[in-house]
Structure 1
Amino acid sequence: MPRLSILSAVRNEETHIREMIESLRAQGLDDWELVLVDDGSSDRTVEIISGIAKADPRVILAAQQDAQGKVSAFNRAFAASSGGIVCLMGGDDRIPSGGLAARTAPFDGVAVDDEDVLALFKLRTFSDDAKFDGMILPRGDAGSRSGGVMTMTRSLAEKVFPIPDHLVAEDVFLGEACESFSPRVVTAPDIVLEYRIHSGNTNPRHQGFDQMTRSTHKRAMAWLAVLEDERLELGQDRRQRLEALWSGEQLRMNGDWRGLLRSRGLPFVDRLAMVSKSNRLFYGIRSRFYRHFSGWRGA
């Protein structure tokens, strides 16, 4: 089985980083490396990582940088990695028992330096807020294209990295960029990540409406980045879908929920998701009934 490289961009994770690393060390799978890049921590994050790395050579602090953003840190982590299988992980998350073995199983016998293979799994949330705790996402049979759940061959990773480092998050770009190369996609029902939901997440679940709408717009910039990236092989259908998503985001940002509902170029579930973030009333309903709205967009 090829070695697994786990890339992690961290900043001020002293509260959670030891738990994250120990969840990896507790796995039955031994042939992995955790490649961390610190993005300007001002707490004890680097000290904790360095102490663990002295006892376990699989834990690698590849670089420290002044707060340049987590996408820049993920790019540096990938450049320093060597495994034939690649995945990403937040410094505040955990791997459940058997999670690494499940991630690597689809790659048994795959020529990881030559074949573009993407494996999609599920995640389970955990949080001190009961509203966000214990959800298994996405719903149904689909696997997630969340950055922390996607796992890919090195051949595919070398096509989609580096991620444009002006983006605020990696996950939307990676999901779309991987799909552009039409990889062989393996979907499995295994829960391979425990995703911590708290106020420090880049995904704006805990934010008020004004901050949320700005954060959502910054994350949506990934659609435009995919459209403009000359490395990516976008067919006409995918280009039209991404253009429709970007156009829908302009409507959402302007509060035009009626225009969103009339957007024929978007699937109805995407229109509803955007409408639910288009004004204070709808966002309040979405926030109150978060569990009921989450996970319907599938992969």
Structure 2
Amino acid sequence: MRTDLANVPVVSVVMTAKDQEPYISAAIESILDQSYTDFELIVIDDGSTDRTGQIIQEIAARDPRVVVSSCPTRGRVPCLNHALSVVRGRYIAIMDADDLSHPERLRLQVEYLEANPDVQVLGSRHADLRQNEFAIPPLVGRAVAMKPVMPRSRLRGFNIRPLPLMHATALMRREALDRIGGYRRAFRHQEDTDLFMRLEEVGEIRNLPEVLYFYRRHENNTGRRHPVAQTASWVLSVILAKRRRRGRDDWADAASTGEIWRKLALHEPALALHAGLLVLFQYMRKKRKHVAQHRWQKLAVGTVGSQMAQSDT
């Protein structure tokens, strides 16, 4: 951890990046353009093979708020936990390297947490961002994720679900993260769901009703590249939260993903069967959703192309 105490920022924004050359500059600039300015931006290049690292260094050279840090272990979870070890702010914001934050995001989130000390995590609603958009777009005609202001997990019945909160929209209290121990490797590609399920157990979680984040959909999104692993981790995080809230160990601090599934099958076969069926159900649901989104994107591109052709005639 850095020991310089002068000008300690209120907010530490955490960004990990791997091969995000087309988008990293716009993502960083959307943080640097925030109306709220008392922050540092911790950026970790997770072994990029393109120009991502060079772009990060160039921006950091001209803006001291950008702090480039090197993670000794590759991977999203180790890099996130490394970032948590070097942050200085009392609030931790998450920012993905291919998305955009609204310029009022940090101001509105900090004001809310300052006024509501019982709230440990604050997210917001978010809108879709097209692959070729690099500035905050208008909301008219755009898909918006209407996250509830008071998100709650659902742990009864078959279709159990985590609380509806998007990781990259979150501003979290650092002391809450320290209390639960950060991210856990057993939940690869869905570490945020496990994190939020544990944070829900130590305090209140809210979403602001404003759209403060823009999520870019493209073929390299984690859910498109690792749909089965992500779905399995998503289900496992909720299943283990159910077990944990019955006062039982969830095994995830020390065991690997495979070991957790084996222990679940041995000690709670009914819960393990529930989890397996839910993985299949959620995977098929996500697959249908991705097909629908792909069709919508093709339609949108075709509509834009048609309009451009008409304007040229």
1:91 matched to 2:97? The reply is yes
Deviations 1:75-108 (A, max 9, x none): 0011110101112111111111311212211122
Larger Rg: 2
Q: TM-score, normalised by structure 2?
A: 0.68
* Distance across 2 between alignment mates of 1:187 and 1:178: 14
Q: Secondary structure at the match of 2:98?
A: coil
Structure 1 position 27, deviation (Å): 1.4
Report if aligned partners of 1:125, 1:195 keep a CA contact under 8 Å in 2. yes
Matching residue's letter, 2:237: A
What fraction of aligned residue pairs are identical, expressed as a percent?
22
Conservation of the 8 A alpha-carbon contact between 1:26 and 1:97:
yes
Q: Could you tell me which of 16, 19, 26 is aligned with 1:12?
A: 19
Equivalent of 2:76 in 67, 70, 78? 70
Q: Which residue in the other structure is 2:165 paired with? A: 145
Report the TM-score, using the length of structure 1 for normalisation. 0.71
Match of 1:175 in 2: 196
Instruction: Compute the displacement of 1:142 (Å).
Output: 4.9
Q: Does 1:216 align with 2:231?
A: yes
Rounded Cα–Cα distance in structure 1 between residues aligned with 2:43 and 2:229: 28
Residue from 151, 161, 182 that aligns with 2:181 = 161
Say which structure is richer in helix: 2
Unaligned runs of 5+ in 1: 229-233, 258-273, 292-299
**Number of aligned pairs?**
249
Residue of structure 2 in register with 1:250 after alignment:
276
Distance 1:196 1:142, change over 3 A: farther
- Consecutive unaligned residues of structure 2, counting only runs of 5 or more, are 1-7, 133-140, 152-163, 251-263, 295-313
* Deviation of 1:250 (Å): 0.3
Residues 120 and 199 in structure 2, CA contact (< 8 A), matched pair in contact too: no
RMSD of the TM alignment (CA)?
A: 3.4
Seen in structure 2, the aligned counterparts of structure 1 residues 109 and 239 have a Cα distance that, compared at 3 Å, is same
Are 1:107 and 2:113 counterparts? yes
Does the aligned pair in 2 maintain the 1:223–1:245 contact within 8 Å?
no
Q: Is the 8 A contact 1:85 1:151 kept in 2?
A: yes
Name the CA shift for 1:78/1:245 in 2 (closer, same or farther; >3 Å).
Answer: farther
1:54-65 matches, within 5 Å, as 54-65=61-72
Other structure's SS at 1:173 match: helix
SS of 1:8 mapped into structure 2 = strand
